[in-house]
């Protein structure tokens, strides 16, 4: 019998997750359906409970709320304090977070980046930033600087990593004094409104890689800045999107699908995509 899955968040109309999971199901021969469900903080729990789902992906702005409702959680969800993947266990939910492993897999395996000992700037301290920070540390980066519009959230993220020698919270105002970074990640949702705050060119060097976790139009401002600042690599979040989805698929079905084909399909029309996952 076909099991039901869905992605919940807001806005959700343009989510690519149903298409990605349908492609994985076809590739692996697993019978399932996967919907996109519009949900906000007020109706998230009710919609989740009413939907008879075996598993769910959770996106902006609900990842921290999703983590809070889980009876049990994986170590990586606990470290992130955010869940992007829920697995039904009887009457309860188990939470996991596949964003970080998805990002690291995309950067190291698809783009061939070596993250070891790298000096990393993370812009943002929301659910996505909390998901990727532990995985970057596990991948062996040398130092992580977290900068967020609301400085308290940057402090909280840095504290949660429990590595004060390696993880540092800084305010947006100090960006001009932070020096050059090997890897610069935009994990804010600022570009969705087209208003990414200005960034000093001095943050980037010719060897730097810049990554926007968004894709499509939302990734354009940061990646344009990165190219103008001289970064060697300017990477959007499409690869991370398909890799985190493959990791969720593995948790639900016990099979890790190949991601190359769906990545190629989505990349071919990347300009037409609207970030929604």
Q: Point out the residues that are catalytic.
A: 63
Name which of residues 66 to 125 contact ligand NDP (CB under 6 A): 99, 102, 124-125
Smallest distance, ligand NDP to C-beta of residue 149, A: 3
Calpha distance 212→240 (Å, rounded): 10
- Taking the CB of residue 35, how many other CB atoms lie within 10 A of it? 17
Q: In what order do the strands lie in the sheet with 204-212?
A: 167-170, 143-147, 119-123, 181-186, 204-212, 233-235
> Which residue of the chain is nearest ligand NDP when measured via CB?
126
Q: With 0-12 CB in 10 A as exposed, 13-18 as middle and 19+ as buried, what is 138?
A: middle
153 part of the interface to ligand NDP, by CB under 6 A: yes
Residue from 3, 45, 61, 233 binding ligand NDP (CB under 6 A): 61
Least separation in angstroms between residue 2's CB and ligand NDP is: 25
Closer by beta carbon to ligand NDP, 96 or else 99: 99
**Cβ 58 to ligand NDP, closest distance in Å?**
9
Instruction: Rule CB under 6 A: say whether 13 interacts with ligand NDP.
Output: no
Asked if the bond preceding 61 is cis, omega within 30° of 0, the reply is yes
- Judged by DSSP in three states, 237 sits in coil
Minimum distance, C-beta of residue 8 to ligand NDP, in the bound complex (Å) = 12
**Does 136 contact ligand NDP by CB under 6 A?**
no
Backbone phi, psi, residue 220, to 5°: -60, -50
Q: Residue 77 corresponds to which tokens in the numbers above?
A: 């969800």
Provide the 10 A C-beta neighbour count for residue 4.
Answer: 15
CA 56, CA 11: separation in Å to the nearest integer? 16
Please, which of residues 156-215 interact with ligand NDP by CB under 6 A? 187-190, 192, 195, 197, 213-214
Binding of ligand NDP by 126 (CB under 6 A): yes
Q: How far is the CB of 88 from ligand NDP (least distance, A)?
A: 22
> For binding to ligand NDP (CB under 6 A), which residues are involved?
60-61, 63, 99, 102, 124-129, 148-150, 153, 187-190, 192, 195, 197, 213-214, 218, 237, 240-241, 244, 275, 277
């Amino acid at each position: 019998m076909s099991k039901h899955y869905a992605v919940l968040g807001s806005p959700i109309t343009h989510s690519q997750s149903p298409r990605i999971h349908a492609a994985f199901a076809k590739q692996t021969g697993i019978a399932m359906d996967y919907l996109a469900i519009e949900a906000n903080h007020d109706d998230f729990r009710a919609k989740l409970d009413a939907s008879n789902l075996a598993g769910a992906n959770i996106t902006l702005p609900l990842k921290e709320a999703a983590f809070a409702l889980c009876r049990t959680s994986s170590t990586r969800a606990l470290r992130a304090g955010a869940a992007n993947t829920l697995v039904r266990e009887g009457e309860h939910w188990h939470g996991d977070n596949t964003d970080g492993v998805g990002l690291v897999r995309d950067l190291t395996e698809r783009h061939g980046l070596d993250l070891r000992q790298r000096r990393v700037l993370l812009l943002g301290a929301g659910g996505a930033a909390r998901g990727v920070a532990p995985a970057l540390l596990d991948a062996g980066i040398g130092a992580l600087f977290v900068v967020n519009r609301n400085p308290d959230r940057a402090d909280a993220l840095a504290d949660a990593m429990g590595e004060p020698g390696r993880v540092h919270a800084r305010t947006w105002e100090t960006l001009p004094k932070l020096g050059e970074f090997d890897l610069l990640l935009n994990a804010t949702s600022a570009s969705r409104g087209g208003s990414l705050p200005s960034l000093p060119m001095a943050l980037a060097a010719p060897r730097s890689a810049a990554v926007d976790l968004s894709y499509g139009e939302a990734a354009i401002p940061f990646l344009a800045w990165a190219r103008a600042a001289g970064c060697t690599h300017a990477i959007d979040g499409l690869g991370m999107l398909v890799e985190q989805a493959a990791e969720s698929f593995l948790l639900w079905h016990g099979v890790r699908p190949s991601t190359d084909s769906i990545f190629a399909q989505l990349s071919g029309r990347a300009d037409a995509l609207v970030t929604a996952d």
